[in-house]
A and B are shown apart, each in its own frame.
Chain A
């Protein structure tokens, strides 16, 4: 009897513990818009497929918004994307019309008392957005704040689940989804055990249904980028509806971009269309804070792949930080022989634009800062010295602005060593832990490459 009691108490305790169990989730439910380089950094040490794909990611998507992975992230990401897209239209009338459409949608199989609080929260959200609407920023603040209030967000997201399950139940063409629905549970069972089960991740059919009930009436489109181990240099993207596949985004309605990693969705933001040069400047500034991460990415790449195969041509776009000095000539006159001996592979895929794009803005070293407070000006002055007046004040990445880059990058000197030489990976750099001052030897001017190359190998420290 006594042991039985212990046993049952254990069981009860275990059950209680299971009931109370909450995985430790970090961060806000819906995070801030974050430069997508952060993803690249997070995968810098992952396996090469991920490294390659995440390095390519910032070329297409400038920012992402992390979404908490509590089992509702797909719902949360698409729901947030929908409201954000509404805000971006700037059309307060549309918000009102959508609110009316959503709250009048017939919810099947549940009494009103079950969902009225949820429906009310959706209505409140859309009222608040509408009220803030002339000011899109204020409307976004409302949205972010509501989506980060757990209680409010629970109500809103569950209403989306109910909309979706009601749509499925009420859809005479539901047979087209049957292929996705486990046969033994049927439509009703699927609604109960998948769509209406909180914390149950959205699946493909859930996304299709949510698209149909929520997005299709406003002509919105979902584009999902799959970050997985499938072969290929970039993430594969997939659009819902499939008719939107291959079309220019400008010919589509609002597009909600999602990043899918196995079992998780985040929101992505592509670069704005390359319409004006000042866009590019904006990106450059936004990359300022990533000096460290990019440096570490480079380091990791080198560790992973060895230096032999790395495409050094991309790095020629990077002006030096310290040792280069204003008066130092080598950039202007690379020795052809050293380039040949280096034999860069020009198409190497894991040296995409972020490096060329971001590294020029590396913070100058402290002493230099006093003389040259603005790193970009520094970069420019190097450029103008080396390639003369035909170079635009900014170096365009070929990925940001293909035509411009084509016209100008060909004039860039093809000297591949200054990057190493001037980085802290070089032992001659005072920031290197194994700092070794370099001696000036005039006879080595033509063979800088050989001098620097060993330091490239030292990166494993």
Chain B
């Protein structure tokens, strides 16, 4: 736990100058290792107009182990599991790629970039990736439908990994 200083500074950096459309807060003031991020769907994407919750979990070994980032809000995306886990496939977070010199600001930027430009060649949802490649219109329609269904209003972070329950009812 010798990294408290660094986590504090990273948090300060992320809150001070977050990636566009993001706001960052601690899940609870007493725990530096769990962050709640609210992400506005980037403009000119099917996700525009949606508000997504992200949970950033820093392992105790951080920065020597990669942080975990999951969607608390359901999203229709080739690189995010279409379930209540909301796991993200992000190259930089893979254990073999993670470097202690990487910063969370960069990670959050990468997550946002993933919404702007999905990576269908490294998918978690093969069917959605296929659709993204073969029938972009249909993909965008489905993605927008998910936004309308799940990503309106303030995201809910209830439960460890967020979840489908976070959908607006």
Contacts and interface: CB of A to CB of B under 8 A. Distances in A.
Contact of A113 (B6, B89, B94): B6
Interface in B47-105: 61, 63-64, 66, 68, 81-83, 85, 87, 89, 94-95, 98-101, 103
Nearest to A197: B99
A19 B4 CA distance: 23
Contacts of A155: 2-3
A15 interface: yes
Residue from B1, B5, B83, B101 having most chain A Cβ neighbours under 10 A: B101
Given A151-B1, A162-B101, A198-B99, A4 B125 contact: yes
Interface in A115-163: 115-118, 120-121, 150-152, 154-155, 158, 162
A11 interface: yes
B124 interface: yes
Nearest to A18: B95
Interface residues of B, number: 31
Contact of A114 (B66, B94, B103): B103
B99 A8 contact: no
A141 B94 CA distance: 36
Given A114-B101, A196-B101, A7 B126 contact: yes
Contacts of B61: 150-151, 154
A16 B6 contact: no
A441 interface: no
A452 B97 CA distance: 63
The A interface, classified by DSSP as helix, strand, loop or mixed, is helix
A158 B64 contact: yes
B49 to A, nearest CB: 26
A19 B95 contact: yes
A9 interface: yes
A117 B101 contact: no
Given A151-B1, A162-B101, A114 B85 contact: no
Nearest to A152: B2
Contact of B82 (A8, A117, A158, A162): A8
A8 B6 contact: no
B87 A113 contact: no
A185 interface: no
B3 A117 contact: yes
Nearest to A118: B100
Contacts of A150: 61
A121 B6 contact: no
Contacts of A197: 99
B124 A113 contact: no
A8 B101 contact: no
A11 B124 contact: yes
A5 B83 contact: yes
Going nearest first, the 8 A-B pairs with the smallest beta carbon separation are: A113-B9, A4-B127, A154-B64, A12-B87, A12-B81, A117-B6, A117-B3, A8-B125
Given A5-B83, A154-B64, 12 more contacts: A1-B127, A11-B81, A11-B126, A110-B101, A111-B103, A114-B63, A114-B101, A116-B5, A117-B2, A150-B61, A196-B99, A198-B99
8 contacts: A8-B124, A8-B127, A9-B81, A9-B83, A117-B4, A151-B61, A154-B61, A155-B3
